[in-house]
Structure 1
Amino acid sequence: MSRLTTEERNALPDSAFALPGRRYPIHDAAHARDALARASEMLHRGELTRDEYDTVHRKAEAVLHHEGP
């Protein structure tokens, strides 16, 4: 997965992120998969609530199912 530059990240609409504060970009399948992995890691570290994790999971899965395999 390619990293987003600050300019690319700033150009994304708020709807391209799973959580408020423009956290967890999910604008494409690669970033949605990464968001799932990072959210799981943060949940297990205690740095993400279960509700936040569930939101990331739901939104990332929607992107993945919309774009196909």
Structure 2
Amino acid sequence: MSKLTTTSRDALPDSDFALPGRRYPVEDAAHARNAKARAAQELKSGHLSPEEARKVDAKADAVLKSKPPR
């Protein structure tokens, strides 16, 4: 997975995040897969609602379909 520095994260548009508040960056396939995994963990631990987890999965799936892995 490519390194996402604070500077590059700050430069991403809000549309490259799965949830409001600039949570779960999904700007490429690697980050989309990671967002899905982290959302599943957070859902299981009770820190993420089922609705939020579905939003992360949907946004990540859209990125994975449009941007194949490198």
Class of the TM-score when normalised by the shorter of the 2 chains: over 0.9
Partner amino acid, structure 2, of 1:35: A
Q: Please state how far the C-alpha of 1:40 moved relative to its aligned partner.
A: 0.3
Where does structure 1 lack aligned partners over 5 or more consecutive residues?
none
Distance 1:51 1:64, change over 3 A: same
Query: Normalization by structure 2: what TM-score?
Result: 0.93
- Superposed CA RMSD in Å reads 1.0
1:46-57 correspondence runs (5 A) = 46-57=46-57
Where does structure 2 lack aligned partners over 5 or more consecutive residues?
none
Query: Normalization by structure 1: what TM-score?
Result: 0.95
Residue 36, structure 1, aligned to residue 36, structure 2: yes
Residue 22, structure 1, aligned to residue 22, structure 2: yes
Q: Distance in 2 between matches of 1:33 and 1:13?
A: 19
Q: Distance in 2 between matches of 1:54 and 1:3?
A: 25
Alignment-derived partner of residue 66 in structure 1:
66
Q: Please state how far the C-alpha of 1:28 moved relative to its aligned partner.
A: 0.3
Q: Distance in 2 between matches of 1:42 and 1:53?
A: 8
Identity %: 59
Equivalent pairs, count: 69
